[in-house]
Chain A
Amino acid sequence: MREACGRAFAGSESPPISAADIRRWAIAVYHPETPPPQFWDEEYAAASVHGGIVAPEEFNPFAWTAALDHRASREGPRSAFVEQGLGIAAPVCEHDLFGGVEIEYTGERMRPGDVIQSRSRLRRYWEREGSLGLMLFTETEVRWTRASDLIKVQRNVMIRY
């Protein structure tokens, strides 16, 4: 498995982001309060520093695209997506947790109509004894771009046990 570190394991392109996608994301995050108007009020957003509606920085335009890919072409647990993408055997683990994240934002904001490209690679594996037993940590890196504009670089740690 360690020989696969550094290799790309996934790439995807989002469908065009809609204003409704952004509005629904903001509603989900800010519920039960009304989200800030820059995420849903066209008139307000047009007069803001952004000049129009922008997505919250953490918005995910790939959510349901990933679900379709998963259903169409993959078998096995959802947590094995890294190894499946690399074409190597996945570790046998019953559970998985999201361990942490490091995100660098460039300042490019996602907006309605944008199509976002994603490229993911495996950075490293390591093991550690935890309160729930021996745990496998997997660090991946994903880069999101809009054409040639880099939007963010995100490193994720997944914990499996």
Chain B
Amino acid sequence: MHANERRVPALGALIAPFERRSEPGAWNRFAAVNDEFVAIHMDDDAGRQAGFPSAFGMGNLQLAYLHAAVRQWMRDGDQLTAVTCRYRRPSLKNTQVVARGLVTGVTTAERETTIELEIWTEDEMGTRLSDGVARVRRRR
């Protein structure tokens, strides 16, 4: 196989998942670095008052998990150029958050390849919590 072929992923390829437990210990660690001590992420009553069954994890933490999933798939020298994320459902207490990605586009130019991925988070039942797109620049 030619070296450049190894650097171009196949359409439809899945990236390795990045999976974490959605629970107060994880939320507290993230709140501590992002100053996100917001009641809906700390207090079940506040979560219920907001219309959900319990307190729930931060959208910013799901966004960080999506970044982590793409980063662990990226190669040395790759550059993350864009990430979008739309939140569908909150990550409820004591569930799993699984960040996933799928290669949906590959555009090859003379010096670089642009790879587009559909990215999303889901719970352990496969219910989507968020979805979006990531774009990665890979030099040839």
Contact = CB atoms under 8 A, between A and B. Distances in A.
Given A100-B85, A132-B51, A29 B80 contact: no
Nearest to A104: B82
A107 interface: yes
A95 B33 contact: no
Contacts of B61: 29
A89 to B, nearest CB: 23
B71 interface: yes
Interface string A90-112: 00001101111111111100000
A84 B134 CA distance: 33
Contacts of A49: 76-77
B60 A98 contact: yes
Interface in A125-142: 131-132
Interface string B35-79: 110101000000001110000001111011101100110001101
A94 B61 CA distance: 23
B16 interface: no
A107 B87 CA distance: 25
A147 interface: no
A38 B86 CA distance: 28
Interface stretch (B4-12, B24-32, B101-109, B114-122): B24-32
A31 interface: yes
Contact of A28 (B29, B81, B130): B29
B71 A36 contact: yes
A103 B83 CA distance: 5
Given A67-B35, A132-B51, 8 more contacts: A28-B30, A28-B34, A36-B72, A48-B76, A60-B33, A60-B60, A97-B87, A99-B87
23 contacts: A25-B33, A28-B29, A28-B33, A29-B30, A48-B76, A49-B77, A56-B64, A57-B67, A57-B71, A57-B80, A58-B67, A60-B33, A63-B33, A94-B49, A98-B58, A99-B86, A100-B87, A100-B130, A101-B59, A101-B83, A105-B80, A106-B81, A107-B81
Interface of A: 21, 24-25, 27-31, 36, 48-49, 56-58, 60, 63-64, 66-67, 78, 94-95, 97-107, 131-132, 157
Interface of B: 20, 25-26, 29-30, 32-36, 38, 40, 49-51, 58-61, 63-65, 67-68, 71-72, 76-77, 79-87, 90, 130, 132, 137
